[in-house]
Structure 1
């Protein structure tokens, strides 16, 4: 491909990309790269190739193909090692994939490339923060602010780190500083609202969310925050107004986490209000849509059980019927030695005590990259994939979306959880996954009790219980147990009072985006 043709292809690829025609854009980018069999001889040719690799990575990342996106970004940096913007997007892709250590290394390299750049330090701080290295993150933000005292983003991010540490006053002070620099900083108002909420000042929290909405009336985050806090205050009808904003908004596709939350939260509000007819109407409409929302599936399974009406939501109407218990004994001879090595590898990973806004109480949790912690953890992932194959074979004849839309390809994200005395996990589910699972490495020996056991049930989100006979199961695990279940199913760990540890590796299966 001659130089002009390469430039034209790049421009056409960018134009298609801007229109959301990702596959078409990728064809142009790949055509440029395919035509370049030798290293570029001019700066102009080099820049075109680097842009093609970079843009291809962005498109792949948007479609959820994170591994391919990361490879494309790395190719761009191989050709142009000082391209600072690619370090930023590569770091985000690595973080989204769950590889937080690699994300940190990426941003550290960006700081080396451009040591006096506040943005590079701000991004490094964010990566450290996501990995639970809060003190290091705060120090990095302070370095960024020394270089650029008016960097509102660094102030805002430092506030998040203080908040994650539990220092709410320092967090609020940081958010105020960010707003002093940038008065129309909606994200800082949202975050300050969270901090004030955690302090118990709900009125001030609402004022922050209102200010965020004044600045960005179409903000998915601010509407979601307002809906959540109004629901918490018992203002269910007002909360529904904010959750319903998503029904007609154009932002739905770009903010899926808020969109998913809004649908289920509206149903919960209607259930609590006793507006059962409207609840049923909305459930039936959602059941006819093409969007599978596991939050809605979970709420639907419970409320229809409580109201003794048909569950029309097609994801998985009886999730407890899809509970499966396997064992490492079916895959490996020396389970004891294997488990011991898994624990040794896992404990070398950074462990965060009671992650903020998480479900783990009196315990630690790692980032979701445990399958990269060592050769034993890598071997465990292969075992899990074999067990998942058995799981699918066992249930594939069941007629529900959960089985009918089973992915041919998927990604696994796993994390290590270590509970100590009084440790437990509150009821929760994993609506961004498809299948969830737990591998038990160290269990609680408490004959005659359910301490340390896993309880799986239809009930969650503290919804009112009208009929206490709803379906639930308790599994008393043994070392080596592999427990698999739909990600929509609520589950919790029953507290234990022994002075010991309960160690597991948990994971979610994520379907690849098309």
Structure 2
């Protein structure tokens, strides 16, 4: 009987297998490789070729097994470890992917691609400082890596280092002038810095390179509708097909007071989608009140009844409160320009992706309150609760510091599910000064007749230090101006269902 462990395939069989792989005949490559492995179990190249064929078919769970079988035969193969790290990332085994990339780097210290991919996984886990360090190490090895500068820019931006992110994106473009994603992301970061002229130029550069670029079209549309050029914005939203582009189109129609077109498009969208868009809920509720019609959208029809307030004991006169205030005042976090904010500052980046222990602790406390929120309203017959996500992610989190005369005009958080704020410092109360106000009207939405204004109810909460307020992201909300010399400091956030990147979602990194 033949010894399957030590027997070898013929050179012709191996060459035939390689030919199938090179010709992208992946299913046939997989079939023949498995057949040969059944006869020659310990031949490294067979496992390697099988791994590549499985990867090419996006059979990542199987390819992980195959790569590991190959590595049992040749454990110190950096390129194989690199490919294994990619496959592990695809199946969300991120801790193992990190360890695998680190082993590849240990074996091959100049492996700049492994540093880049390691940085991407670390960034996805919120380890921004470690991700930045990994990107920088890769770029030190290969300073001509445009993709490395792009990825570094995304991490710096997440970390609130906007000016450094701008420089990193510019370096990527210098190395690769046709880097469309870098032009677009540069525009987004310049927008965050408040330089809209330069931001628009970057979007235009991206669209000149690729007129169909989803993100650049979306960002151009967003600029145009903020400039109240609603008709001009719609074609860009339609070209983007990105995220909430249909709701944004409805917004443009409504703000342009094209009510008939709005209703036709709203009703069509409602019929073809689940009632899980807070933005569409805002628009549909406003239209229904405006025109005295029943609201057909059941995300959360009576949003004012779903506002939740509670004191977090861990924040009342505690070390955590002092640590949060200290990190807000002293951490190196850039400011983000916010046109709705008067006499105040808003942080850039995503606080809950930063490394400071205070922000990480607060994020954990807030997630517990989200579960309490869900339990509190568990009997509600609306998609806000019935489709409440099992896994949650902070799409954004930022601090807002206001001085005397500070206020924030009425707005919604279009990309949230549940929005909220935790209050760390409050000014001395004088009536409703400094209060949190919420309702169904804001953002200069058109009102059909002046007397209809009274139909849009509002309520107020005067928070105490340590309070958390949670509310459906579909509600308008604002801060009422205050005259006290005391500061008003809160950390605000949006939380929504966890999602994976897909072709119609904004992606962050290049691989």
Q: TM-score, normalised by structure 2?
A: 0.74
Q: What are the within-5 Å matches in structure 2 for residues 177-326 of structure 1?
A: 191-192=200-201, 208=204, 215-225=209-219, 227-228=221-222, 231=225, 236-237=230-231, 239-245=233-239, 252=241, 255-256=242-243, 260=244, 262-290=245-273, 292-326=276-310
Indicate conservation of the 8 Å contact 1:350/1:366, yes or no: no
Q: CA deviation at 1:336?
A: 4.2
- 2:73 and 2:340 map into 1 onto residues whose CA distance is 51
Query: Following superposition of structure 1 onto structure 2, how do residues 110-125 of structure 1 map, counting pairs within 5 Å?
Result: 110-115=138-143, 117=145, 120-121=148-149, 123-125=151-153
Distance 1:91 1:360, change over 3 A: farther
The Cα offsets for residues 293-312 of structure 1, whole Å up to 9 and x where unpaired, read as 33222211222221221221
The verdict on how the C-alpha distance between 1:296 and 1:14 changes in structure 2, with shifts beyond 3 A counting, is same
Q: Is the 8 A contact 2:398 2:492 kept in 1?
A: yes
Superposed CA deviations along residues 84-127 of structure 1, whole A, max 9, x for unmatched, are 23433444455555554333222222223335656545543554
Moved more, 320-329 or 296-305: 296-305
2:131 paired with 1:103? yes
Aligned twin of 1:249? none
Are positions 1:49 and 2:85 aligned together? no
Change (3 A) 1:389 1:144: closer
Provide the C-alpha distance between the structure 1 equivalents of 2:345 and 2:389, rounded to a whole number of angstroms. Answer: 33
Query: What is the Cα deviation at residue 325 of structure 1?
Result: 0.4
Shift of 1:318: 1.9
Judged with a 3 Å threshold, the aligned counterparts in structure 2 of structure 1 residues 119 and 215 are, in CA distance, closer, same or farther, namely closer
Whether 2:468 is the aligned partner of 1:482: answer yes
**2:14 paired residue number:** none
1:344 paired with 2:376, answer: no
Contact preservation (8 Å) 1:98, 1:367: no
SS at match of 1:54: helix
Report Cα offsets for 1:164-191 as digits up to 9, x if no partner.
Answer: 555678x4xxxxxxxxxxxxxxxxxx74
Q: Deviations over 1:414-467 (max 9, x none)?
A: 43332233333333333333222211110111322x232212222244211332
Q: Matched residue of 2:477: which SS? A: strand
Q: Is the 8 A contact 2:98 2:121 kept in 1?
A: no
Q: Which has the higher contact order (CA 8 A, sep 6+)?
A: 2
Structure 1 residue 477 displacement after superposition: 0.7
Among 278, 295, 312, the residue aligned to 1:328: 312
- Provide the residue aligned with 1:506 in structure 2: 492
Match of 1:26 in 2: 60
Contact kept? 1:345, 1:374, Cα under 8 Å: yes
Q: Secondary structure at the match of 1:438?
A: strand
Distance change in 2, residues 1:491/1:36 (3 Å): farther
Q: 1:326 to 1:31 in 2, by over 3 A?
A: same
Please provide the CA RMSD for this pair: 3.6
Q: Can you give the 5+ residue segments of structure 1 that lack an aligned partner in the other structure?
A: 18-24, 172-189, 195-207, 247-251
Retained in 2: the 8 A contact 1:122–1:140?
A: yes
Match of 1:179 in 2: none
Does the CA-based 8 Å contact 2:426-2:487 persist in structure 1?
Answer: yes
Report the alpha carbon displacement of residue 245 of structure 1 after superposing the two structures with TM: 4.4
Q: What's 2:453 paired with?
A: 468
- Which blocks of at least 5 consecutive residues in structure 2 are unaligned? 1-40, 501-511
Determine the structure 1 residue equivalent to 2:159.
131
Which residue matches 2:103? 78
Residues 352, 363 of structure 2: 8 Å contact kept: no
Q: What is the TM-score when the length of structure 1 is the normalising length?
A: 0.74
Bigger CA radius of gyration = 2
